Structure 1
Amino acid sequence: MAGGVYCPLSPRDPPHRLHTLVQQTQSRLVLVHDLTKTKFDHNIALPNIDSILIVNNMERNIDIDQLSSIRVTLDDLAYIIFTSGSTGTPKAVQVRHKNFIQCMHSLTYINSFNRDDTVVQMTRCSFDIHVQEILGTLLVGSTLIMLHSGGTIDFKPLSNYRCMVINQYSQSSVTDEEGELCIGGVGVFVGYLGRDDLTAKVLIEIDGELFYRTGDLVRMDSNGLLHYQGRKDHQIKLHGQRIELGEIERCLLNVTSISACVVLKWNNDYLVAYVQSSSHNNEEQLSQHCESHLPPHMIPSFFIILEKLPLNPNGKVDRKQLPSPDFSSSPWLSSDKSDTPLNQFEEQLLTIWRQVLHSNENHISRTTSFFSVGGHSLLFIELYYRYQLLFNFDVHSLSIGLFLQQPTIRQHAQLLQALPSNDTQTTQWQTLNINQGKTFLN
């Protein structure tokens, strides 16, 4: 027991965002490895996990006997999870040890899993459920398998939890009436770190018990099942990631030439940003600005620049009157004369990209991010798997993290061409039709 507070950071986030999160928690050190240490400046301690995992190094530098003497109580903070913030600043959710322990007790009480189970870890570190999946699984003695994100739609409340569905007047909704889901019980968190104003909005007292207002709109049927209907705000879920659209909008409004902005989810696949600007901004400049401040899953795939956003009679942006994105005219999916033509190897990678993205476009810029042309984390896994099949390498030779950090055709070509050449790889690439890659994934 070391007594620290766990605060996961995503290596996919840009340095500017990581710096903001570290400042918000006032962390004294960040655990890194060789690929992530360059994302932080030098005024913070950066212990390398590779050296910490060496037992001899631990014995030489750390007095392990002293760790057990650190007193940790149930009311101490166990971890902090960042969620997307509508004001442009991520919110830091504080969770105590007792919240986590009692939550795990509820799961074991209903026999959700036990020591004989094998648990698949799917969620990203931006969701606090990953703490239950990893630490909770190990705590009860189960076997842990690390995979990727997923979830459920309909659910029942756990023991030691209480779910209430309240209407707009903060009164309990009747059966099958839509209302906001409020959750009380052992898992209610302490509040947002340094944001008492936000805490007061989402933590409310009902019948002497503290409840969290989730913002989720649900209805409860006669069997007590909760059915998800949507959100009361503009928070969305895209490819398994919860996103506050307001955070993206605030990021774009920091560009001085932009006077108004609206971001929408389009066809459940893309983020589209509509900006009001009188200046000569272009999509590439706006995308680069977002890439330097936001994680990849929050970067819009399309930017539509208008002289004025349409307004309704109340003076608010009329979202229904916003123009549809023209997918064929996007600079990411059309030829750019200033862009160097793809060489033969890059053309082969483009073919793979088009198949994974289910795109009929003949050209994607060699410097365009996979995530700017409709790609997301699950499709990226498929892309990486196809690379492995076609170029005959394993995760030890080239990890998926390297491709994520360098997500363009040009960078992928450089990574793949740096692999040790051998006759097997060359023959496999020349003789295996790319369409055969599909059969391994279906």
Structure 2
Amino acid sequence: MKHILELLDATAARLPDRPAFGDERHTLTWGQVQLAVQRIGTALAQYHVQRRPVAVYLDHEVPCLLAMLGTLAAGGFYTVLDTAQPPERVRRITDQLEPALLLTDAPHRAAAEALGLPCPIVEMDDALAGPPDPFRLQTLRAEAIDTDLAYVLFTSGSTGAPKGVAVQHRAVLAYSAWAAETFGLDETTVFGNQTPFYFSMSVTDLYTSLRTGAQIQVLPKRLFSFPVQLLDYLTVHGVNTLYWVPSALGGVVRWKALDYTALPPLRTILFAGETMPTPYLNYWQAHYPTALFANLFGPTETTDICAYYIVDRAFADDEPLPIGRACDNCGLLVLTADGQAAAPGEVGELCARGSFLAAGYYNMPQKTAERFCPNPLQPHYPETIYRTGDLVRYDEQGLLQYMGRADNQIKHMGYRIELGEIETAAFGQEGLQSCACIYDAPKDRLVLFFTGQKDLEAALRARLAQRLPAYMQPAAYHRLKAMPQNQNGKIDRAALRELCKED
């Protein structure tokens, strides 16, 4: 198999009348998805987008999924743009991407034109209106190879400058095969899709569904502000599988929403994207004692995930979860600063190799060379590894423990400190809902932002004094009504650093 849409063709032939994609306004079967993709692919092929980028400027709904797959049918690769982002940010991405075409709809046409891109703009209704051209699509498919790009997904990175991660068909095929087998996903699976399609976690929902015939129900973003309504929506639509960022799962915990509504029929609950607070996990597990819970870990540069841990025991509220072990067909190395293999228990940088790896960064050869580099442990032939920038160590059970980011490791009072260790120590405090520790470099101090009960600061100070050395004690504590979140639903640490300036 060399092309992602071979998965769609097989599933549509096997399950043509089963539900495939749904949202508040659309419900499509696999047969209908296949036909729509062929129509879009035929329309886009007229613009000669083979092995060229197509920008998709659509909301987080079913038509966006069709546009992504239609681009692949035309032989191109896609980048999903966030329609809610400021035009300046979108233009920073398109300037780097230089799309051959922009695919949008009537409601976003004016905003798309205002971007001023020197490429044609096509609306979805027009692309869907014409008949498919099977011969043209088959010709494009025959010319494809598995190292052609499938998509370029832009991440901000530590500097805030967009980086386009270029992912090939073979990486998606390898990754989706692992995910489907590992978590028992099949045609009875119904995903409740939370993550935006410009975020790498959505790759798991989409491509394991194409592979297995699972259903995707795209969840309205507004419901995450109303957890009881959100859970009711999951129940009505038969959602049984979640793959969410911990902040989204935490919204349900903070409102104790599982205590006040009929429980959705969940059987698989996966999470990734940021550290999972153990109290969140324990709350969900208390209500779903027979469900499979798994902590997934990996950067966009490994398609989505490179390590995972299926939760198989109880954890105390202040005990961090392991990130586990390497996914099958994905090799992991733990390297010291001098490029040697870390000793058991020694902290080093997590590096990945194998078929899950992206091709590199789009139009950024220097940045690609920095991160996608030769394996220092393999001198006999060329092998590329990706340096994640994540610090890890193996514990006594042979499981990887996440120790923080190399760029999140700060030096304070002469000591090297992982901010995540402070957050983990705080999370066992009763009444605490969420927290994030920030290093305020101009004032050389640690600041703990938190949400939860009033008058919690004294208890937090006492707790951390018992569990952390003096040099790791936050100098300031700030209670917030809600944690700021970025467009991916993660805690917005840049916004918290700005709050430090106001103090």
Please give the residue correspondences for 1:285-324 in structure 2 after superposition, counting only pairs within 5 Å: 318=442, 320-321=444-445
Cα distance in 1 for partners of 2:194, 2:400 equals: 22
Cα distance in 1 for partners of 2:155, 2:75 equals: 23
Match in the other structure for 2:369 = 200
Match in the other structure for 2:61 = none
Q: Which amino acid aligns with 1:176?
A: G
Match in the other structure for 2:30 = none
**SS of 2:172 mapped into structure 1:** helix
Match in the other structure for 1:140 = 212
Equivalent of residue 52 in structure 1, options 113, 127, 132? 127
Cα distance in 1 for partners of 2:94, 2:372 equals: 25
Cα distance in 2 for partners of 1:234, 1:128 equals: 21
Q: Which amino acid aligns with 1:145?
A: Q
Cα distance in 1 for partners of 2:400, 2:365 equals: 30
Query: Would you say 1:223 and 2:298 are equivalent positions?
Result: no
Query: Would you say 1:73 and 2:73 are equivalent positions?
Result: no
Cα distance in 2 for partners of 1:100, 1:220 equals: 28
Query: Would you say 1:164 and 2:164 are equivalent positions?
Result: no
Q: Deviations over 1:61-99 (max 9, x none)?
A: x64542221021101111111111445531111111111
Between the aligned residues of both structures, percent identity stands at 27
**Alignment size in residue pairs:** 259
Match in the other structure for 2:351 = 182
**SS of 2:401 mapped into structure 1:** strand
CA 1:46–1:377 in 2, change beyond 3 Å: closer, same or farther?
same
Q: Alignment RMSD, CA only?
A: 3.5
Match in the other structure for 1:328 = none
CA 1:218–1:379 in 2, change beyond 3 Å: closer, same or farther?
closer
CA 1:231–1:136 in 2, change beyond 3 Å: closer, same or farther?
same
Offset, 1:159: 0.7
Match in the other structure for 2:45 = none
Cα distance in 1 for partners of 2:215, 2:189 equals: 6
Match in the other structure for 1:96 = 168
Match in the other structure for 2:191 = 119
Equivalent of residue 210 in structure 1, options 384, 401, 410? 384
Match in the other structure for 1:39 = 111
Offset, 1:172: 1.2
CA 1:107–1:200 in 2, change beyond 3 Å: closer, same or farther?
same
Offset, 1:235: 9.7
Cα distance in 2 for partners of 1:200, 1:117 equals: 39
Structure 1 segments unaligned to the other structure (5+ residues): 237-266, 275-316, 326-356, 360-372, 381-442
**SS of 1:113 mapped into structure 2:** coil
Q: Deviations over 1:174-195 (max 9, x none)?
A: 2222211111111111111121
Match in the other structure for 2:100 = 28
Cα distance in 2 for partners of 1:120, 1:377 equals: 20
Q: Which has the larger radius of gyration?
A: 1
Offset, 1:222: 3.4
Offset, 1:228: 1.4
Query: Would you say 1:232 and 2:417 are equivalent positions?
Result: no
Structure 2 segments unaligned to the other structure (5+ residues): 1-72, 222-243, 246-270, 272-294, 296-320, 411-433, 450-478, 490-503
Cα distance in 1 for partners of 2:395, 2:448 equals: 37
CA 1:270–1:177 in 2, change beyond 3 Å: closer, same or farther?
closer
Return the structure number with greater strand share: 2
C-alpha contact (below 8 Å) 1:217/1:229 kept by paired residues: yes
Range with greater deviation from structure 2 (184-193 or 24-33)? 24-33
Offset, 1:376: 3.5
Please give the residue correspondences for 1:364-403 in structure 2 after superposition, counting only pairs within 5 Å: 375-376=484-485
Match in the other structure for 2:314 = none
